[in-house]
Amino acid sequence: AQLLRLTIGKLSDIGITVLAVTSDATAHSVQMAKALGIHIDGDNMKCTFQHPSSSSQQIAYFFGSCHLLRLIRNAFQYFQSIQFINGTAHWQHLVDLVALGDQELANIERLPRKLANLKNHVLKTNCAAQLFSESVASALECLLSLGLPPFQNCIGTVHFLRLINNLFDIFNSRNCYGKGLKGPLLPETYSKINRVLIEAKTIFVTLSDASNNQIIKGKRKLGFLGFLLNAES
Read out DSSP for 12-64?
HHTTPPP-EEEE--SHHHHHHHHHHT-B--SSS-B-EEE-TT-TT-EEEEEE-
DSSP letter for 90, please: E
DSSP 8-state symbol, 208: B
Mean pLDDT on 100-116: 57
Domain boundary among 16, 46, 63: 63
Q: Rg (Cα) of the chain, in Å, rounded? A: 20
Residue 47 has pLDDT above 60, yes or no: yes
Q: What is the pLDDT of residue 91?
A: 95
**Predicted confidence (pLDDT) per residue in 116-128, tens digit:** 555 455 566 667 7
Residues 59 and 78 both lie in one domain? no
Kindly state whether residues 96 and 196 are assigned to the same domain: yes
Query: What's the pLDDT at 25?
Result: 93
The total of structural domains in the chain comes to 2
- Shared domain for 57 and 72, answered yes or no, is no
Same domain, 137 and 165: yes
Q: Is there a single domain that holds both residue 107 and residue 152?
A: yes
Residues 146 and 70 occupy one common structural domain: yes
What is the extent of the structural domain holding 55?
A: 1-63
Local structure of residue 109 (DSSP, 8 states): S
Do 87 and 59 fall within a single domain?
no
Asked if the model's pLDDT at residue 30 lies above 60, the reply is: yes
161 and 77 fall within a common domain: yes
In terms of domains, do 126 and 186 share one? yes
Of the residues 45, 63, 81, which one is the last residue of a structural domain? 63
The domain boundary, picked from 63, 80, 106, lies at 63
Q: Which has more pLDDT, 174 or 143?
A: 143
Residues 222 and 128 occupy one common structural domain: yes
Instruction: Return mean pLDDT, the chain.
Output: 88
Q: Tell which wins on pLDDT, 97 or 102.
A: 97
Per-residue pLDDT at 109 exceeds 70: no
Pairing relationship of beta strands 48-50 and 58-63 according to DSSP bridges: antiparallel
Asked if 152 and 167 sit in the same domain, the reply is yes
**Tens digit of each residue's pLDDT (9 = 90 or more) over 179-226:** 888 888 889 889 999 999 999 999 999 999 999 999 999 999 999 999
Read off the pTM: 0.88
Taking the CA atoms of residue 209, residue 215, residue 219 and residue 221 in that order, the dihedral angle to the nearest 10 degrees is 130
> Is the same domain home to 28 and 97?
no
Distance CA 229, CA 118 (A): 35
